[in-house]
Structure 1
């Protein structure tokens, strides 16, 4: 990622931590001061009482939000629905893609237990998973069970994310019929009407080649991050699916993501965008980053449903 963007995101995180520290420290200090005054039976100026009430109120709100973010939202799956019109498919036809990303499996969670049934109820034609499968090797059997239980008409497809290529490159993540991994060549599905161009994280040249070699059909790009979208848009992909940002995982009201770990910072942090003529969908993902508490705030784990609506010749 661009060092300047990384520095900017680190600065925002530092400011957020500083604000939280000020509120917590101020609340504790003023609370202690009020308690001490009561013990000593000394009067407290009204201004100090009001300031202490504000700080204590902010602390209580913060603790409530933290409790919610740790215990409720990480398992509260949300289905997002998007329609993408396309002349690449016959008029009147529809094709349903379910897009998942960033499972980050290390053990069973309530979200993972419910995920296959939630997806199957949507009756997907195909599943596209855009990477970051595991937080630990112990999660591999769970990953395979979750994905293999998802039923589709035309197949399950996956690419490796940055965690998959950095830490789990030796693991056969999607073998045994779990999913077809997009690596080198185009894969055609839906009767040859859909061309899947995908590559493991860090190997973008394979997608360029795939798009150039396959000018026909609905061309779907699957890559872990949205970082290639502006480079690939001139080649005319019909849909680009990505994850990686987690939607920020922790979002602030009226501001959105504090961190995205994308070269574009907040430009493509989550949801649907149109870049040139290419629709881009960035998933909030399902899991959470490793080595930190499993937390989500204003950023529920996501199952994305993308319905392709044909408008072309039969």
Structure 2
């Protein structure tokens, strides 16, 4: 039966499509906003730009966060709920490890370690046995799984763990599961409290990731004199002072959910809070942007930001050049009968 614009089912599909676009466009916007502040302390950000309120680069562009999210989205669109570790491993070989192109500029240490292991002939899950299996490299590409499994956080968490088996372990997997589940519930239009609860429901409560997420949210919801004071409290709740690596999954996921909670899901405030806290700012802002964008839809993203996002340039993953996050969002959401007939 053909759906019309007046059918409730058509309206539901349109709303789901809008939230899917919001999630992945929000990820790309957050990534591009946060990229210049990556690995910086708030004091360094203030000295250079004051407070970041928009793009500070003349040529804003997404990093490996956006390109790996596109990679996982394409993989998920191809296999859906039937996705297996073998599918993921084969895709890493076909699109990444077996290509002569490289050296995959901007890729995180977890991805570089995985590529090296694959090129050595190792197979999953041994490919994830490297020094950065706990990184936020899975969390940064987890949003497509929440989009695909909208309303089903358990399925979103299951699928992202399948993807992550090739590159991550332990806390790295937990970070991806938390983000995927949070996006899955945000895709229903649920508020921040439900989104946070969903993220916590799919990871061990005594895990480092769960503890960091809870501490960040509690700190974000306390009364503070001003926004910088709130950001300092959230950072202090989860950041390990003096630790040289900023891509810890428990830290990045905690900061992202803390920013989202402090902003009560408002898109602009969520991503700017994440960006101005520094550390792995492109990833924390990408995750916060995915959560806020999924909750409120593409229309919640300021036009002056969303209009900047074009097709991926392939700066990190040459094989992802030319793909746009909006196309990936559409691939991961249902079609109505008219669209299906035209495709």
Question: What TM-score, normalized to structure 1?
Answer: 0.33
Relative to total residues, which structure has the larger strand share, 1 or 2? 1
Relative to total residues, which structure has the larger helix share, 1 or 2? 2
Higher RCO (C-alpha under 8 Å, 6+ residues apart): 2
Question: What TM-score, normalized to structure 2?
Answer: 0.31
CA radius of gyration, larger in: 1
